[in-house]
Chain A
Amino acid sequence: MKIIIKNGLVVDPANNINEILDILVEDDKIVNVGKNLKNNAATIIDATNRVVIPGIVDMHVHLREPGREDKETVASGTNAALKGGVTSVLAMPNTNPPIDSRESIQILNKIIKNTAHANVFICGAITKQRQGKELSDISGLKQQGAIAISDDGNSVDNAQLFLEALKIAKRENILVICHCEDVSLSAKGVVNLGITSTRMGLRGISRESEYTRLSRDAELAQRAKTPIHIAHISCRESVEIIAAAKKRGINITCETAPHYFSLTEEAVWGYDTNFKVNPPLRSRDDVESIKQALKSDVIDAIASDHAPHTDNEKDIEFIRAEFGTIGLETTLAVCITELIHTGLLDWSTLIRKLCLNPSKILGIKKGTLSVGSDADIIVVSPNQEWLVDKNSFVSKSKNSMFLGKTLKGVVDYTILGGKISYQRPLERKNPNEVSCEPRARKTC
């Protein structure tokens, strides 16, 4: 199959490209990027007034399979991903069973092989059952294809054990991803500690619980000379610690999630549990700091922390509700709305955070539009507004923090491995020319 994507603003920071160009795709690869490309056999996608970027690499996704197929499956999660322009995800290991052994990763590999609609990479667990007591079979996980390890949802409290894990990770050449939380400091909290916990009458999660563990992890990574990646940072102090660590030459990278730069703690004051996340939504000052860190490149990546939960687990008393928001279908639009339309970031910088940097951090060959690379490409209408509606989600779960919000930026096409895997419902004029209308119409 051949596709030409014509006249779109091609943004490919890996090659310093940011101009109106055409892209020719043949089979599963990008074979040409340039002006006025022609190929009679190709399907034409008119990308005029649209942005053409690499498929998003979301390095923090909970697909819930195996074990919690009522929340999400590999199939439903990857379908949601395609709709959101995400072509590659890193699946976190807090499943049931957790991905902590050869046996469990083999189960997941099989599910992915049979049901995934997008590229799924696997993050294994650092410790057995993610309990922080005993290391999992890290080399076995690596051999079975895991590209990272993390006890996500938990930090490895035992510093000696964590140091041991770092040393093995270095030997095995596998990335360590840290969920930084000292539970003795977060102390059963459910919202940001401060005016929010005080006025809501709820236990607070302190900033210290995040950044003191981050400091420890960075120190240990330096000692073990092992690269680490910090998941979902949310506060000013974390930004400062990472900036300082980078300056000292520590091999550290980090991500934040869209909700940490688009919403403040005030969003949770009405006890809507969709705003209950861990780490919690923080203060205005923290949000400002996260934004500046995106601009200054202290924060390398944006990842959704897509955390699906059923209504039964969310639509209950605040203290009992699960932490987490879904994000695969809103990440790009939140980024465009909050970072591009506000002028905070340019397209190249955003695409580095969403596509190129996550690929580099994970060591996968994704996130670029280079000739010869995998044809994972998305075509986006950056000014198109849409209302985030519960019924519009492809994900099995609907627990989005952005419900009811109007966002800008819609994915028109997701091309995965050279195939049009998602197309925004619209009217097709003739079989060879697929044209996007400003407003989505009937499914073609």
Chain B
Amino acid sequence: MIEWTRKHLLSLEELTREEIELILDNTASFKEVLTREVKKVPALRGKTVVNLFYEPSTRTRVSFEIAAKRLSADVINIAAETSSARKGETLFDTGRNIEALKADIIVLRHSASGAAAMLSRHVNISVVNAGDGWHEHPTQALLDIFTLKEKFGRIEGLEVAIVGDIAHSRVARSNIWGLSKLKAKVIVCAPKSLIPAEIEQMGVSVVTDDIDVAIANADAINVLRMQFERDEADMFPEQLDYFKKYGITQERLEKAKKKIVVMHPGPINRGIEISSEVADGSQSVILDQVTNGIAVRMAVLFLVAQGAKKRR
């Protein structure tokens, strides 16, 4: 078993296969904690975790908060409006202030790609990326991968289709890096205007705009949320048209593998990218993902705190 030496978790791109596996192993241990009568361990007692969120988020923020509390850390939530931050204090000054307040870990959600990596160069405390622009959302991909591993017992050799707005998705990017490092076969599927240039070079095996091709042989589908409110409106198809062409319905799943697993990072748009029947059906692991998210984030917070100690 390798040793964890990183102080930050900024992306899955920078991790080795072994490091990802180490996080997954730790996740399994922490998941066991969640089944206990007393769901709390003293691993981060005396540590302070600051959730610094520049974008609205309920799920991820609450998940990190619960994870930190289960590890006995003190948790502070800061909801910063990107617009007001623009006028005043910079992200890096905010980060340095949080450091001066003697926090140990900043969990950062920011609309600018690269924000977490840049913040990590401005502070001496740990930074965990909770989503930066369209770039990465490593803990989401880790919980997706952990959920798959629970279902299938392995990742290597699985065929995973990521369907939806790939171009603007940090979830897609982190999943592509993570899955390909663990030797899964990654398929991305989206309308052509939402497939970013040269994505094959990230380790994607198949790029297609045909959903039936994408899921024909897939073991799992990761359905991305369609954000029709984005400003690149011209890149998007009509909502109804999208559901017709790309929506994950029971009818479509009939043609796929029987044991196919359906994932979604949430929040789901019923009737836009996924039908209610599928979202609530037996193939859906959407709520398992939410539960696993806590264990994954416990593992990540625990490991970066260990890493910071070694780096000191």
A-to-B contact residues, CB < 8 Å: 193-195, 197-202, 204, 270-271, 315-320
Contact = CB atoms under 8 A, between A and B. Distances in A.
A269 to B, nearest CB: 9
Given A194-B198, A270-B117, 15 more contacts: A195-B198, A195-B199, A195-B202, A197-B197, A198-B196, A198-B198, A199-B13, A199-B173, A199-B201, A200-B114, A201-B170, A271-B113, A316-B91, A318-B114, A319-B113
A315 B135 CA distance: 19
A321 B198 CA distance: 25
Which of A271, A317, A318 counts the most chain B CB atoms within 10 A? A317
- Which are the 3 A-B pairs with shortest beta-carbon distances? A201-B134, A271-B114, A201-B135
Contacts of A202: 113-114, 133-135
Interface string B186-203: 000000000011110110
A271 B92 CA distance: 14
B307 to A, nearest CB: 19
Nearest to B201: A195
Which of B91, B112, B134 counts the most chain A CB atoms within 10 A? B112
Contact of B199 (A198, A200, A315): A198
B113 A201 contact: yes
B97 interface: no
Contacts, number: 61
B197 A318 contact: no
B39 to A, nearest CB: 35
Interface string B134-161: 1110000000000000000000000000
Interface residues of B, number: 24
B132 interface: yes
Contacts of B202: 195, 198-199
B118 interface: yes
B299 interface: no
29 contacts: A195-B199, A195-B201, A195-B202, A197-B197, A198-B196, A198-B197, A198-B198, A198-B199, A199-B173, A199-B201, A199-B202, A200-B135, A201-B132, A201-B133, A201-B135, A201-B136, A201-B170, A202-B114, A202-B134, A202-B135, A271-B113, A271-B117, A271-B118, A316-B92, A317-B110, A317-B114, A317-B115, A318-B113, A319-B112
B90 interface: yes
Nearest to B122: A315
A131 B159 CA distance: 52
Given A195-B202, A271-B117, A201 B91 contact: no
A193 B114 contact: no
A382 to B, nearest CB: 34
A316 B85 CA distance: 12
A315 B112 CA distance: 13
A27 to B, nearest CB: 52
Contact of B112 (A193, A195, A197, A317): A317
Contacts of A195: 197-199, 201-202
Contacts of A199: 13, 173, 201-202
A322 B214 CA distance: 40
Contacts of B170: 201
